[in-house]
A = this chain, B = another copy of it.
Amino acid sequence: MDYERPQFFRVMQYADAAAGDVIDMVSGNPDWEPPGALREGLVEYADGDPEQFQYPASEGLLELREEIAARRNVDREQVLVTNGAGEANHLAMAEGLTRDAGDEVILTDPVYPYYAGRTNLLGGRARYVAVDDDGRLDPDAVRDAASDDTALIVVNSPNNPTGAVYPEATIRELVDVAETYDALLVSDEVYDHFDYGDAFTSALAVDSDRRVVTNAFSKSLAITGFRVGYAIVPDWLVDRFRTRHMLTNVTSSRPAQYAVWRALRETPPDYFAENRAMLRSRVEVFTDALDAAGAEYTTPEGGFYVMARFPGFSGTMENVERLIDEAGVAGMPGAAFGESRADWFRFALVTPRAEEAAQRLAEYFSDE
């Protein structure tokens, strides 16, 4: 399968060209305010000495790594600051596939398309394990799929696109499968601040030298364009990750790192709690409207996407275009995330017009 962006672009282009008013529920860009301290950090940085405009340490600004290490309760040496979670995942997958421990990559279906795209790019073979309609991943199915050829198991919780949050038992089992087959478990936790049921468990909770945790501030600080993420890496992989990071990017952008550090130090917990509450209320309004529209869906336990399917109206690109033209709502076709969700749509709730979109969908499908 292909990676997300071209599909994403196709939908966005179609929506932009549409005659009427269209509510964008396509992209995963937060629509709310970044923390004030982040803006202040950038302004302060802009006034610094020329020395502060030069290369930071390749592994990231020391103070930022220390802040991350303290928050995640890990050793600072295990923290590598990356160009977003994207680079962190790239490094982890490249390492997993170049250590002569197999070339198979276990992914879920549906999948965040960049994982599939990276698997192709890096010469791995994707093996998909379908989740159930509620997005639950059965670790026994992963164990059945795994073998000595398994290089990587890549998971994402809270999940894009399903909204599932994997329970601790699942995470433990996944780590165990990785250990059994000398694979790396890559646990992408970029939506960890958007956990609505307190069910989220980081893979850090399971001590293992076969798990890499990736994350970023893109969603939690509403700055997908800043590209500040990180990997937390077992000791034996630290040097390999640093070398690959250095030879890929030299280092990550310093103004963005500095601003994130300031934001982490000074942003009160309320900032995160309020955004989480806002999204939770969007989820409620949106899923109420889906009920009114007669749709099938799973209430997301985390993240900010809702997958839904409508009776007699499958999630094809053609129907995505119809929804844009006739309902004024742009979502993503489910097939962009894998075969198992070809009937579904994905809606991103990162728009202040989520409620309006919900009303439009409810009206559109009740009129049909």
Task: Kindly provide the distance from the CB of A224 to the nearest chain B CB, expressed in whole angstroms.
Answer: 5
Say yes or no for A225: interface residue by CB 8 A criterion: yes
Say yes or no for A33: interface residue by CB 8 A criterion: yes
Which stretch in A66-74, A244-252, A300-308, A358-366 binds the other chain? A244-252
Number of chain copies forming the complex: 2
Given contacts A45-B42, A227-B250, A247-B114, are A34 and B55 in contact (CB under 8 A)?
no
Within 8 A of B (CB), among A218-264: 222-228, 243-244, 246-256, 259
Which stretch in A80-88, A140-148, A330-338 binds the other chain? A80-88
Cα distance, A174 to B251, chains bound together (Å) = 30
Q: A86 is contacted by which of B3, B42, B50, B250 (Cβ under 8 Å)? A: B250
Task: Kindly provide the distance from the CB of A7 to the nearest chain B CB, expressed in whole angstroms.
Answer: 13
Say yes or no for A63: interface residue by CB 8 A criterion: no
A31-B51, A39-B47, A255-B256 known; 17 other A-B pairs, CB under 8 Å? Answer: A39-B46, A40-B46, A52-B225, A54-B224, A86-B248, A87-B249, A90-B247, A114-B247, A117-B246, A117-B247, A121-B247, A226-B255, A227-B249, A227-B253, A227-B254, A252-B253, A255-B259
Which positions in A face B, CB cutoff 8 Å? 3, 5, 27, 29-34, 39-40, 42-43, 45-47, 50-56, 58, 83-84, 86-87, 90, 114, 117-118, 121, 222-228, 243-244, 246-256, 259
